[in-house]
């Protein structure tokens, strides 16, 4: 798989572990009530698993397997720089949004960065939604 997809996928696996850790701590709290404050992590648990894990994994795999503009050509996967920007923005957005636990106002900023990341990603991948070997 291309380097960018590997970064997307590995980052998604890190968020999977982080999200599962928070989820396990919250579920255990439901069971034996050791520290009610852990329940404030619920939005971060959701953020990590929906955007960090599932959305990011899908973005990485799509960049890898979607039809290319001719095998072996230098820009066969389109504008890779644009997609790296999307990767960086997405992860910045997730981390900024996660800081809402301490700074509620950062949620808005995180969401805006995430929307930017996804917009850049869609622009970068749009023309690869095409038949294999066919025109964009």
Partner 1 sequence: MPTLTRWFIKTSFIYLALALVASLLLAVQPLLNLTSLGELFSVYIHLLVFGWLTQLVFGVVFWMFPKYSTEKPRGSESLGWWTYALLNVGLILRAIAEPIQSVHSNPITGWTLVISAALQFLAGLTFVLNSWNRVRVK
Q: What is the C-alpha to C-alpha distance for residues 90 and 122, in angstroms, rounded to an integer?
A: 13
62 forms part of the interface with partner 1 (CB under 8 A): no
Q: Which two tokens stand for residue 4?
A: 């960018």
Contact window for partner 1 (CB under 8 A) among 46-54, 73-81, 84-92, 120-128: 46-54
Among 41, 57, 97, 125, binds partner 1 (CB under 8 A): 57
Q: What share of the chain is helix, strand, coil (3-state, %, to 5)?
A: 75, 0, 25
Q: What is the C-alpha to C-alpha distance for residues 5 and 61, in angstroms, rounded to an integer?
A: 6
CB of 116: closest distance to partner 1 in angstroms?
25
The angle at the Cα of 43, spanning 41 to 49, to the nearest 5 degrees, equals 100
16 forms part of the interface with partner 1 (CB under 8 A): yes
Would you give the binding string for partner 1 spanning residues 67-96, x where CB under 8 A is met?
Answer: ------------------------------
Among 38, 54, 92, 123, binds partner 1 (CB under 8 A): 54
């Amino acid at each position: 798989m291309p380097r960018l997809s590997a970064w997307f996928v590995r980052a998604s696996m890190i968020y999977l572990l982080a999200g599962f850790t928070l989820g396990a701590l919250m579920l255990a709290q439901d069971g034996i009530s050791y520290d009610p404050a852990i329940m404030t992590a619920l939005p971060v648990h959701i953020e990590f698993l929906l955007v960090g894990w599932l959305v990011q994994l899908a973005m990485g795999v799509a960049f890898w397997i979607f039809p290319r503009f001719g095998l072996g050509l230098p820009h066969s996967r389109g504008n890779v720089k644009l997609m790296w920007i999307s990767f960086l923005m997405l992860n910045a957005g997730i981390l900024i949004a996660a800081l809402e636990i301490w700074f509620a106002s950062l949620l808005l900023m995180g969401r805006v960065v995430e929307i930017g990341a996804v917009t850049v990603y869609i622009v970068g991948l749009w023309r690869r939604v095409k038949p294999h070997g066919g025109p964009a």
